[in-house]
């Protein structure tokens, strides 16, 4: 049997181009010739997957690529992109922490507000409140004029001293 035919069929099989008739013929040939059978099996090896080393190289190449992209692309394009890449890594990884910190801050200030709000109504005994749609101007004990917009409240104490002039707005 012609060796040329064997190589032709094996090539077509390896390329995924062989017809079912050709595959049958190839099988027949390998059954008749043990050396061809071995070659058939050896050449049908599976390609090794990407190695860890190559993976690292690709990741590094990507980081360099992103730097290049920022230099090459118009600024607008870069800004449209998700901002994650423009942030240094430490900020990227601190993001969840920033979220936690922000919520703690909100909880903290709410507690403080409730606490102080109850307090300041006693301390700051004067309250000016405006209705929705009306404005007013008031004169504080030290002579300062304050314009109060609609639907707002201002508290201030009687003992307005010269060092600190505290008011509460809401």
Partner 1 sequence: MVQADIIKLQNAIAINRDEAAYRQLFINFHQPLIKFGGAIIQSEEAAEDLYSEVMIKIWLMEESLAKIENLKQYLYTLIRNAAFNELKARKKIVISSLDDLPDDYNSTYSVEDCFLKDEFDKKINDAIKSLPPKCGLVYRLIREDGFNYRQTSEILGISVNTIEGHMTLAIKKISDTLRKYLH
Q: Which residues bind partner 1 (CB under 8 A)?
A: 7-8, 10-12, 14-17, 35, 38-39, 42-43, 45, 47-48, 50-51, 53-55, 57-59, 61-62, 64-65, 68-69, 72-73, 77, 80-82, 84-85
Taking every pair of Cα atoms in the chain, the longest distance, rounded to a whole number of angstroms, is 115
Nearest approach in angstroms of CB 99 to partner 1 is: 20
Residue nearer to partner 1 on the CB measure, 10 or 157: 10
Q: DSSP state, 143?
A: S
- In angstroms, give the least distance from the CB of 1 to partner 1: 15
State how far the Cα of 42 lies from the Cα of 56, in Å rounded to an integer.
Answer: 30
Which residue, 64 or 97, is less far from partner 1 as judged by CB?
64
Supply the DSSP symbol for 141. T
Q: How far is the CB of 43 from partner 1 (least distance, A)?
A: 7
Nearest to 83 by CA among 92, 74, 73, 94: 92
Tell me the C-alpha distance between 80 and 74, whole Å: 10
Task: Decide: 124 and 168 in contact? Cβ < 8 Å.
Answer: yes
* Residue 167 neighbours by CB under 8 Å, 6+ apart: 124, 140, 146, 154, 155, 156
Q: Tell the smallest beta-carbon distance from residue 129 to partner 1 (Å).
A: 49
Give the shortest CB-68-to-partner 1 separation in angstroms: 6
Question: Closest CB to partner 1 among 32 and 77?
Answer: 77
The smaller minimum CB distance to partner 1, of residues 24 and 38, is found at 38
Query: Which residues on neighbouring strands pair with residue 146, listed in sequence order?
Result: 138
Task: Tell me whether residue 43 or residue 129 sits nearer to partner 1 (CB atom).
Answer: 43
């Amino acid at each position: 049997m012609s060796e040329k035919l064997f190589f032709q069929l094996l090539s077509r099989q390896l390329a995924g181009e062989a017809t079912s008739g050709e595959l049958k013929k190839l099988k027949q040939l390998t059954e008749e010739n043990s050396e061809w059978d071995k070659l058939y099996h050896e050449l049908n090896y599976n390609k090794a997957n990407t190695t860890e080393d190559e993976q690292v190289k690709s990741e590094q190449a990507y980081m360099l690529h992103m730097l290049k992209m920022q230099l090459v692309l118009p600024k607008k394009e870069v800004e449209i992109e998700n901002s994650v890449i423009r942030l240094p890594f430490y900020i990227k990884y601190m993001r969840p922490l920033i979220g936690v910190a922000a919520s703690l801050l909100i909880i903290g200030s709410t507690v403080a507000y409730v606490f102080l709000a109850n307090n300041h109504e006693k301390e700051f005994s004067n309250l000016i409140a405006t209705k929705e749609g009306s404005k007013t101007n008031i004169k504080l004990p030290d002579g300062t004029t304050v314009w109060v917009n609609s639907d707002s409240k201002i508290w201030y104490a009687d003992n307005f001293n010269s060092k600190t002039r505290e008011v509460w707005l809401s």
